[in-house]
Structure formats: structure tokens, C-alpha cells
Amino acid sequence: MLSKPHETPGQPLLNFEALRNVTPLNEFNWATTPPAKHRPPKPVYNMTMALEKSSLNDLVVIDSNPLNRITTRRKLSGKYPTTTAGHLPGKSVADAVMEFWKLIIQLLPRRYPTVFSTAILEDGTRVLKNAVNKSSMHLSPIPGPREALEYFGKTLDEDFLLLPSPDGDGYTLQAYISAFAAHFDASTLLKKKVRDIHAGVPRYKEKLMMSMERYLERIKIGQFVRRVKVGLLRRCTAIKWVINANRNSGP
């Protein structure tokens, strides 16, 4: 997720107005929902950004897979805590993480009311309940940024990379939730700009860098786009593959 530099002190990084357009899935049954298939066959693949318009409805996707995958995510998070979630120090980064947290905790019960719901315990504590794995997260008091990232990493079958633009010169990875990363270890990329993260991609500088940066600059707050990336992992857990790949990739 990208965020523009603040033009006005205290201006939100995210547009919460988009929550009004979220379509609730009132009859949603996660156990009988098959995973989406993203394998459009093409005779020729050109080097493009492969972006398409999307909406807040697609930010978190739930299907029949999450219970087993979330169990794996919890194990990975316990074994590799700094590899699966983290953020840079500083108030601006913490504020960005907590804005993202507020967006997600409002999105989940709106989009998936049969899975997520809020409740107030006997002691007055407000919690967000998850019907898939029977877990809950305290919403009061508000958690810190690290706790917020860890909760999403152990509860949602999604990885998130937060890339603010603090200096207006491209976007920088400043926070992440990444248990099933494809081909990279997000913890080693903190404080790197998008152009530096992609430096090893063949022909990126010649073919994609300028067009990608121009495209990202045109994206407005509250606008959503998406792309599909396919990766193959063989005979090992996702996190082990990523660690080994980075260890063997060289400088």
C-alpha cells in the first residue's frame, strides 16, 4: 500500500470515505468459497506492470483456505518474528501503521459480517472476533504498531507492504506483514525505495522504472489498483525458501 506525503499536518494517509462503498457479503460462507483462480493463459507475455483497477472490496480476500494457512502463518510468526512482520522506528511510521490498522478493522466486519464482528466484553473491553479461527483482538486500548502488524499477520491470509513517501522522491518500504513472501525477505528491504527493491529485475531500469514511478504518482488517495504475481515454491516452507534465496542471491 502506498501513501502520499502529507500536504497538511495531520492529513490522513488513507481515504476512509472508501469504506462507504464497501459491499457487504451478508451470506458469505468461507468454508465453501473456492480460491480465486488467477491463471489467464496468454500466448505472449510482455514486460509490463500488469496493473488493473480494483476497489477496497478486494483488499482482503477470504476463501476456504485460510484456516490451514493461518495455522502455518502463526507458526512462522512465532519462529521468525522479525522476518514476518516489522516496521521502521519513528512516529510517522507508527502513525501510518495505525491508520492502516484502523482501516482494516473497519473494513473486515463491513465486508465479511459472517466472519468478523465486534463485541464488548463484561469488563467493557471492545474486541474484534474472528469466526474462522475463533480468535479475537482487543480494540481498546488501541494496540501499538508492532502488535497491530502481528495480529494481522496471524489472522489474515494476506501479506501487506506499507510504502509511504516521506520525502516525495518515490516510495519507501517502511512496514510489512510478510509470511508468504515470493522471492524476497521484506525485513532486508526496509528503508529501500521501490526503484532500489526492483534493481535486480532484468531490464527494470530500461523498461519499467520511469513508467512505474509516473503511474504511482498519478494514483490518488482512495484509489485502488492490483496486479497478480505467480511464484513457485518447491519442497520447503515459504519462509525457509525466502531465507535461503536471499542467502544465496549475493549482493
Q: Confirm whether 141 is domain-assigned.
A: yes
pLDDT digits (tens, 9 = 90+) for 206-227: 888 888 888 888 888 778 888 7
The answer to whether the CB of 92 falls within 8 A of the CB of 153 is no
Q: Which residues contact 119 (CB under 8 A, 6 or more apart)?
A: 126, 127, 129, 136
pLDDT at 145: 92
Q: Confirm whether 169 is domain-assigned.
A: yes
pLDDT of residue 244 exceeding 80, the answer is no
Q: Report how many domains make up the chain.
A: 1
For residues 229-245, average pLDDT: 52
Q: Which domain holds residue 132?
A: 2-22+52-248
Provide the mean pLDDT of the chain.
79
Which of 24, 58, 62, 110 has its CA nearest to residue 128? 110
For residues 71-90, average pLDDT: 90
The grid cell for 32 is: 465453501
pLDDT digits (tens, 9 = 90+) for 104-130: 999 999 999 999 999 988 888 889 998
The grid cell for 176 is: 510489512
pLDDT at 123: 86
Predicted model pTM: 0.78
Q: Confirm whether 153 is domain-assigned.
A: yes
pLDDT at 250: 32
- Comparing 13-17, 60-64, 96-100, 148-152, the range with the smallest average pLDDT is 13-17
Q: Confirm whether 241 is domain-assigned.
A: yes
Q: Confirm whether 38 is domain-assigned.
A: no
DSSP strand pairing (52-53 vs 160-164) = unpaired
The answer to whether the CB of 174 falls within 8 A of the CB of 88 is yes
Q: Confirm whether 31 is domain-assigned.
A: no
Q: Confirm whether 39 is domain-assigned.
A: no
pLDDT digits (tens, 9 = 90+) for 145-165: 999 999 888 888 888 989 888
Q: Confirm whether 79 is domain-assigned.
A: yes
